[in-house]
Amino acid sequence: MIAAPPHYGDELQDYVDKRLNANVRRAVEDHLNVCAECRRQIDALTWTKQAIRMTPTTRAPRHLREEILRELRTEKVEVELLSKNPRSWGSNLPIVIAIAVLIGLGAVIVNEYRSRPVTVPTTVARDFQELRANDLNLSLETTNPNVLSAYFEGFEVPFPVRIFDPQEMGATLVGGRVLDPDGQVRMLALYRGASGQLIACETFNGREAGLPAGATIREIGGVSFHVYREGGISSVFWREGPVMCSLASDMDSEQVVQLAASQAKS
Amino acid sequence: MSSKIKSLEESVAARFEDRALSHVDSLYNRALELTGSEQSAVELVKETFVRALRAFSNNGPENPSRAWMFSIMFSIFAQERPEGSQRSAGNPAMLLDGADGEFDMSDVAELAQIEVAESEWNGRHVAEIVNRLPGELRDAVILVDVDQFPHEDAAQVLRCSVSALRTRLFKARRVLFTELGESARSVEADRRRGAFR
């Protein structure tokens, strides 16, 4: 059990913005009952937010709505004129045919791609890429493992919640989210290493048999680690009871294996 | 065929008008802050609606949400700052003031005594101080605290990550706590002096 932090940080702003789930909110409120410093932070944030809301607003001038409607209707007429012009289709016929052929080819390629089963390492690597590119947002940002653990427990995920110790990994916790794209629940926690590199940890119900062929197997401390590398992302999988754990990063594979070994329970 | 197309276009345009026009006031308020002039704000909002209709009828979203309309407006403003726009650049020193550290909370208890809603200190004072914030901090705090966007939507409007939005928000609030506090105390002190005369 990791001790509660001396003071909360980002969670206080989230508390004032009403962004915390019930479990985390309760944890913060318990802490506020005994911590005058955090309570003053909350008072300061609340006072500031209340004052900012006094910024005056005004109604748009009456003529603006009329002018907008006029502009929109002019825009509409232009669309209609284009669609009514029969020559625009005839003169562009070669382009239309070329586009149709390209769309057809595209559909064949997409179908081919979709018909291939997406493997777990591909999913984990894709999640990492989306996190790195900011295309996948964390639903909770926190540096506190207890807070993230309470957040996951609030989802009643169908396996034990375990947050890897950031200190043991030489990293800082960034936050996490629960992924449930097709009923296969995965808990995702994101860490940032000392040099700024990202490390994504996912846990889910599963077995080694669900992993695809092609892994490099490493045995360390009685645990089998399945190592994959695709698209510049290394992912390492291992089993802990009913749960599969994974780490993914764009670091060197060996570094990811060593991080995994530091966290794995044999 | 052409009547079918026309009818389809009319129904798309009517759906757009019906839903998007409810955002006019909030778009205008933000346009006013962005451009600093009523005429430029009107032009910016009109251009936003025209571009939004084009996007909406061309595989746009099901619903022209407020966040989506704001994204279009911020993008137009960033690319083609309308003629006559005079947005305050803010005071860059505030960016440094808010860079690190905690809230200076020595006065929280005193400030709590000032009922902001009932004080002579009012929205005009607040707006003056908020307008002195550098643009990126101002945008974050106005979108979240005045326009009341969720963090995710505000991040979408500003094309930044939620994490970056939260950092800007915290910096802005920390700077504003000090600046607004000074302003509120000063107005309150004037009021008390007046009461004793």
In this predicted structure, which of A111-115, B177-181, B193-197 has the lowest mean pLDDT? Answer: A111-115
From CA B196, how far away is CA B190, in angstroms rounded? Answer: 10
Q: State yes or no: pLDDT of B13 exceeds 90.
A: no
Tokens 């629940």 belong to which residue?
A185
pTM of the predicted model, to two decimals?
Answer: 0.56
Closest B-chain CA to A85: B2
Q: Give the residue with greater pLDDT, A129 vs A185.
A: A129
Q: State yes or no: pLDDT of B7 exceeds 80.
A: no
CB pair distance less than 8 Å for A45 and B173: yes
Contact present, A34 and A4 (Cβ < 8 Å): no
Q: State yes or no: pLDDT of A83 exceeds 60.
A: no
**Confidence bin at A149 (pLDDT 50/70/90):** confident
Contact present, A121 and A212 (Cβ < 8 Å): yes
ipTM of the complex: 0.82
Residue A200: closest CA among A130, A148, A248: A248
Torsion of CA A249, A217, A117, A197, to 10 degrees: 0
Q: Return left, alpha or beta for A224; rule: phi > 0 is left, psi -120 to 50 is alpha, else beta.
A: beta
Residue A89's pLDDT is 45
Q: State yes or no: pLDDT of B99 exceeds 70.
A: no
Residue A77's pLDDT is 46
Contacts of B117 in chain A (CB under 8 A): 50, 54
From CA B189, how far away is CA B82, in angstroms rounded? Answer: 42
**Confidence bin at B71 (pLDDT 50/70/90):** very high
**Confidence bin at A2 (pLDDT 50/70/90):** very low
- Residue among B17, B102, B126 whose CB faces A51 most closely: B126
pLDDT digits (tens, 9 = 90+) for A90-128: 556 666 677 677 777 766 665 554 545 678 888 899 889
What percentage of residues in chain A have a pLDDT greater than 90? 23
Residue A207's pLDDT is 83
Secondary structure of A38-71 in HEC code, one letter for each residue: HHHHHHHHHHHHHHHCCCCCCCCCHHHHHHHHHH
Is A81 touching B (CB cutoff 8 A)?
no
Contacts of B60 in chain A (CB under 8 A): none
- How far A229 CA lies from chain B's nearest CA (Å)? 27
> What is the average pLDDT value for chain B, to the nearest integer?
81
Name which of B25, B26, B137 to mutate to probe chain A: the one with the most chain A Cβ atoms within 10 A of its Cβ. B25
- How far B131 CA lies from chain A's nearest CA (Å)? 10
CB pair distance less than 8 Å for B49 and A68: yes
Q: State yes or no: pLDDT of B140 exceeds 90.
A: yes
**Confidence bin at B122 (pLDDT 50/70/90):** confident
Paired strand residues for A229: A234
- Residue among A19, A52, A59 whose CB faces B151 most closely: A19
CB pair distance less than 8 Å for B105 and A17: no
- How far A255 CA lies from chain B's nearest CA (Å)? 27
Name which of A55, A58, A81, A190 to mutate to probe chain B: the one with the most chain B Cβ atoms within 10 A of its Cβ. A55
Q: Give the residue with greater pLDDT, A154 vs A69.
A: A69
From CA B21, how far away is CA B30, in angstroms rounded? Answer: 15
**Confidence bin at A228 (pLDDT 50/70/90):** very high
CB pair distance less than 8 Å for B46 and A68: yes
Name which of A50, A57, A66 to mutate to probe chain B: the one with the most chain B Cβ atoms within 10 A of its Cβ. A57
Contacts of A137 in chain B (CB under 8 A): 152, 155, 161-162
Contact present, B3 and A80 (Cβ < 8 Å): no
pLDDT digits (tens, 9 = 90+) for A152-210: 777 667 788 888 888 888 889 988 888 876 567 889 999 998 888 999 999 988 888 88
- How far A41 CA lies from chain B's nearest CA (Å)? 7
Residue B113's pLDDT is 65
In this predicted structure, which of A135-144, B135-144, B149-158, B172-181 has the lowest mean pLDDT? Answer: A135-144
Closest B-chain CA to A58: B29
Is the sign of the CA dihedral A127, A131, A132, A135 positive or negative?
positive
Contacts of B4 in chain A (CB under 8 A): none
In this predicted structure, which of A25-29, A31-35, B84-88, B146-150 has the lowest mean pLDDT? Answer: B84-88
Contacts of A72 in chain B (CB under 8 A): 13, 16-17, 49-50, 53
CB pair distance less than 8 Å for B2 and A84: yes
Closest B-chain CA to A134: B161
| Token digits of residue A237 | 């999988």
Q: How far is CA A245 from the centre of its chain?
A: 17
Is A44 touching B (CB cutoff 8 A)?
yes
Residue A81's pLDDT is 45
Residue A84's pLDDT is 38
Residue B26's pLDDT is 94
Q: State yes or no: pLDDT of B95 exceeds 60.
A: no
Is A17 touching B (CB cutoff 8 A)?
yes
Q: Give the residue with greater pLDDT, B98 vs B54.
A: B54
Residue B43's pLDDT is 93
Q: State yes or no: pLDDT of B105 exceeds 80.
A: no
Q: Give the residue with greater pLDDT, B139 vs B120.
A: B139
Helix (H) or strand (E) holding B138: helix B135-141
